[in-house]
Structure 1
Amino acid sequence: MSPWSDARPDVLGPGYEAIDLPMGEDGEGPVCATLVRRAAPRAGTGAVLCLHGYNDYFFNVGLADFLAARGRDFYALDLRKCGRSWRPHQTRLHCRSLGDYMDDIDAAMRVISEVDGHDDVLLVGHSMGGLVSALWLAERGGDGPVSALCLNSPFLSSGVPRPLRAVMDPLLVRAAGRRPLAAFPGRLSPRYPRSLHRSHHGTWDFDEGWKSTSGTRLRLGWLAAVHAGQRAVRAGLGVTVPVLVLCSDRSSGRRAPAALLRRSDCVLDVAAIRRLAPRLGADVTVQQVEGAVHDVFLSGDGARRAAYDALGRWLSSHLPHPAG
C-alpha cells in the first residue's frame, strides 16, 4: 500500500499533502521526518526534493510554483525535530550526527523513486540543508535518481578562522560526546527571521513556532556534527552531478542596519561559500545575486526575480523540462 494513502492535507493549503516517515527512536523517543508533496500541473517524469535550513521548515509556495511549472512534482522534506516533524518530547532542531538527516533523505528518496516512480530528481538544499544535501549526494546518492543539485546559500563554513578551528574542534568533539544536548553559550540572533516575517516589518508569513523569531540555541552535538560535515567539504566531496550554488553578493553582520539586513546575507560569509563551492564537485556554477538575503528565494522582489531567473537559465541548460 502506498504511504500516500494515509496522507493528510498540509498546512500550505489545497494541492499540498504530507506524510510522516517513521525514523525509529533515539534517546528522546520516537522520531519522524515529514514529506510534503505537490503534484506538477502537467504530467512529467521529473521531481524536486527541497530541504530547509536550520531553524526552518518548508513554506515557500512560490518556489514550489516555479519548479512545478517546469513539469516536476515538488516534494519538501522537514527533517527530524524540525518544523512539521518536531514533537513536544524532543529537543527542537537537534541531531546526533548529520547521518541522522541523511537517513531522513534516504527515506524520502525511497518514496519519491520507488513508490512514485521518479528517476530524475533535482535536489535543492538551503543553508544547513544545502550542506546535508551535498554530503548525502557524495556519500549515498551516486547511483540514485538525483540528476542535479541546487544549493541556496549552503552552510559550507561556520566562519571560524583556521587556527582557532584547530583548537576548537577537538574540544567541541569531546564536549559534545559528554553532553550533546548542552547549549552553546549565547543565542542565535533573531534579527534575520524577524526581518522576513510580516509581523516584524517583513513580507513573509510563516509559523513562528517552527521558524523562531525569538532566537535559538545551538546544541553542542549538532554543532560538532556540522563541523564534521564542513571538514568533509574542505577535503572535497567529488559530487558527480551538475551543481548550482546561489548566494548573495554581500554579507553583513547581524547588527547591520535594517536596510542592509534586507539586501545581504547576515547569516553566512558569502566569500567562504564562493571559495569552498568548487570543492563540491567537478561541475559547479556559482551565481551571486545582487541584493539577496540568506535565503535567496525570500529576498526582495528584484533580487528574488534575479534568483529565479538564474535558476531557470541553469535548469534549461542542465535539466530540460521533463517529458510528459
Structure 2
Amino acid sequence: MADWSADFLGAGFEQRELSARSMPAGTLVRFVPTPQESADSSDERGPADSNIALLYVHGWSDYYFNTELADFVSARGWRFYALDLPEHGRSLRPGGRPGYIPSAEHYLESIDAALDALAADGTGQIVLMGHSTGGLAAALEAQRRPDRIAALILSSPWLVPHGGRAAGRMLEYALAGRATARPDQVIPLPSRGYFWRAVAREAGGEWDLREDLRPRTAFPVRAGWLYGILAAQRELLAGSTVSIPSLLLASTRSDTGLVWREHMRSRDAVLAIGPMRRAARAVCSSLDEVLVDGGLHDVLLSAPSVRRGAYTRLGAWLDRVVDASG
C-alpha cells in the first residue's frame, strides 16, 4: 500500500492509493489536524487520539471535497477519512472509463480496502457515511458486514430505481444482454447539470469544484454500470435488514423534473424523497431520520444556515448512538 502524501485540499489533508486483489481500489483521504487546530477546538467530547472514525463515500460522478465535514468530525475528537472510488475524482487515470464501476462487488471491494486501511491506522469504531450511489454501496456493506461498522449514515441514498422497483426490474432485464456483450456502451440520457448548478460557485452556489474531477452534468452512463446498480438495488431490497444504528439524512422536498427551476437550489433535484424514505425504512430496522428543510441532494452542501442546522442534528444523533468510550 502506498504511503500517505499531501492532498490538494491543503493543510492537514493527506491521500494514499488503495488496492484490492492487486487491482486499484480507489484513493483514501484523511484529515490530520495540526496541533494548533486541535488545541483551538472548543469541543471537548473526545480526545484528539480517539479511535473512532467516520469514513465518507461520495456519490456517482463525484469526489470528496467538503472540508467542513472533516472539520465537524475532527471537532468531535474523531478521525476523518473519505474514499474516492475507482474511476472517480482522485482515482481517475488517463485512458480510464470515468464513473464506470461494473458491479456492486467492486464498490464493496473498495470500501473493504478502505476499512482495512483504517484498521491498520489504529481505528476502532467506524461510522460509515455514504451519499447517493455511495449510500447504496454503504448500505450493502452494512447489510453484509455489520460487524465492521458501528453506525450507518445514508445521505440521500439511491436505494431504489427511478420509477420504482418494478420499473427497475424491467430495465435490468432489458440491459442484461448489453451489460454482458457491450458493457461499455453509452446509454443516451438527457444531460442534467442541476445539482452542479445549485452547488458550484460559478453557477450561484458556494463550493469550488474541480471540473477535471467532477463534470458539470455527469460521466457517461454505460450499460454495464447501470445494470450493476439496478442489480445492487434489487439485492439490497431483497436482503436481510440492516440492524446497526442507521440515519437517513435528506431534504424534506424534491423536484426531479427535466426543466430547471430556481427552487431546485433548496430541494433534492436528483432523487425523489418519498421512495427514498420508504426504501430506507425497509432496509434498516433501526432507522432515524434527519430531514432538512431547504436541503439539496447533498444536504451538507446546502445554504449555510441549512447545513448548520443539519450538522447540529447529525451531531446529536451521533452522540446518542456512538459510544465514545468504546
TM-score by length of 1: 0.91
1:34–1:79: 8 Å Cα contact kept in structure 2?
yes
In structure 2, relative to structure 1, the CA distance for the partners of 1:244 and 1:161 (3 Å cut) is closer
Say if 1:257 and 1:143 are closer, same or farther in 2 by CA, change over 3 A. Answer: closer
- Paired position in structure 2 for 1:36: 29
Q: 1:322 to 1:174 in 2, by over 3 A?
A: farther
1:166 CA displacement: 3.8
Measured after TM superposition, the shift of residue 195 of structure 1 is 2.0
Extract unaligned runs of 5+ from structure 1. none
Say which of 132, 136, 143 aligns to 2:137. Answer: 132
CA offset digits 1:262-295 (Å, max 9, x no partner): 1100100110111111122221112211110000
Equivalent residue for 1:142, pick from 139, 146, 170 = 146
Report the AA paired with residue 285 of structure 2: A
Contact 2:194 2:260 (8 Å CA) reproduced = no
Query: Which residue of 86, 90, 94 corresponds with 1:84?
Result: 90
1:198-230: CA deviation from partner (whole Å, max 9, x where unpaired)? 111211012112111144321111111111111
SS of the residue 2:28 aligns to: strand
Q: Equivalent residues in 2 for 1:20-99 (5 A)?
A: 20-23=17-20, 31-39=24-32, 41=38, 42-99=48-105
Q: How many pairs are equivalent?
A: 313
1:155-304 to structure 2, matched below 5 A, reads 155-304=158-307
* Residues in 2 aligned to 1:48 and 1:166: alpha-carbon distance in whole angstroms: 34
Matched, 1:315 2:318: yes
Residue aligned with 2:291, SS: strand
Matched, 1:17 2:10: no
Q: Which amino acid aligns with 1:181?
A: D
Contact 1:233–1:276 (CA<8 Å) still a contact in 2?
no
Deviation at 1:256, TM superposition (A): 4.9
Q: C-alpha distance in 2, partners of 1:164/1:242?
A: 30
Q: For 2:278, what is the secondary structure of its paired residue?
A: helix
Distance 1:186 1:119, change over 3 A: same
Residue aligned with 1:240, SS: coil
Contact 1:277 / 1:286 at 8 angstroms: preserved in 2?
no
1:118 aligned onto 2:123 = yes
CA contact (8 A) 1:249 1:264 kept: yes
The CA deviation at 1:239 is 1.6
Is 313-322 or 129-138 further displaced after alignment? 313-322
What is the TM-score normalised by the length of structure 2?
A: 0.91
Whole-angstrom distance in 2 between the partners of 1:68 and 1:322: 16
Cα 1:292–1:142 shift into 2, 3 Å: same
The Cα RMSD (Å) is 1.8
Listed as ranges, the gaps of 5+ residues in structure 2 are: 39-47
Cα contact 2:92–2:98 (8 A) shared by 1: yes
Q: Structure 2 vs 1, CA of residues 117 and 96 (structure 1 numbering), >3 Å: closer, same or farther?
A: same
Overall identity of the aligned pairs, in %: 35
**Alpha-carbon contact 2:51-2:124 (below 8 Å) kept:** yes
Distance in 1 between the 2:172 and 2:24 partners? 28
* Paired residue secondary structure (1:262): helix
The C-alpha deviation readout for 1:72-114, integer Å capped at 9, x for no partner, is: 110101010100001012100101111011111111111111x
Q: Which segment drifts farther, 84-93 or 280-289? A: 280-289
Q: Distance in 2 between matches of 1:237 and 1:210?
A: 35
Given that residues 150 and 245 in structure 1 are in contact (C-alpha distance below 8 angstroms), is that contact kept between their aligned partners in structure 2?
A: yes
C-alpha change, 1:203 and 1:237, in structure 2 (3 Å) is farther
Deviations 1:97-142 (A, max 9, x none): 11011111111111111x1121101111000000001101211x23
